[in-house]
Amino acid sequence: MENAREVIKIVTDNVKQKSSSKKDEVTVMKALMNDTEYSTKIYGTLNGVETYYPSRELRKIVANAVSSITKIPIKEATELADKYEFTKTDAQGMVNLSKEFTYTYLKTGRKLPLGGRIDSDIQLAWKNISAREARVPSNNSKVLIPEHGGIKSINKTPDWIISDENGKVIGTTYDNKCD
């Protein structure tokens, strides 16, 4: 089984420029789907802070589907789902689904909170960008940029951050309240 933190570190260490990589998207997704021990803390929830295990959540979905389709008991379906190793094809499908969900949901006009993490509280929102003229510096001409859609991010300072006098995060208001 892949260790998601190791995979993420390898991808991070190999980034030479801030460009997209379909291969890295699938690699990270596959690791998140298969590593049942990978977890992240989500801050600012009703309970203050929660631990989230992506692979375990996905396996519950798979077990429910298997149980529903085959009519086998949920316990047996869970045992089957726990043994399954997700493939690159599965990971590519999940990447595609995640992207389509993000795009489609943002088009509704609602904000999409990504969940508070220790050092961030990010939300995404759809933005309509009006048509405008822009100057081309190389030849001093003007071009018309048509109206189009975009995504803006909202990055408020998380309420739970405690920082030192230099602004470095040194803890959270939840430090002694979570596991």
pLDDT in tens, 27-40: 999 999 999 999 99
Residue 177 covered by a domain: no
State the pLDDT confidence band at 7, using cuts at 50, 70 and 90.
very high
Mean pLDDT over all residues of the chain? 92
pLDDT value, residue 178:
41
Q: How many whole angstroms separate alpha carbon 131 and alpha carbon 168?
A: 40
The predicted pLDDT at position 145 comes to 95
| The pLDDT value given to residue 27 | 97
pLDDT at 167: 87
Residue 142 lies in a domain: yes
Give the DSSP H/E element, type plus range, for residue 104. Answer: helix 88-107
Is residue 39 situated within a structural domain?
Answer: yes
Apex 36 CA angle, 77 and 112, nearest 5? 95
Mean local confidence (pLDDT), 144-155: 95
Which residue range forms the structural domain that includes residue 37?
4-172
What is the reported pLDDT for 176? 56
In a domain, 93, yes or no: yes
Count how many domains the chain has: 1
Residue 68 domain-assigned? yes
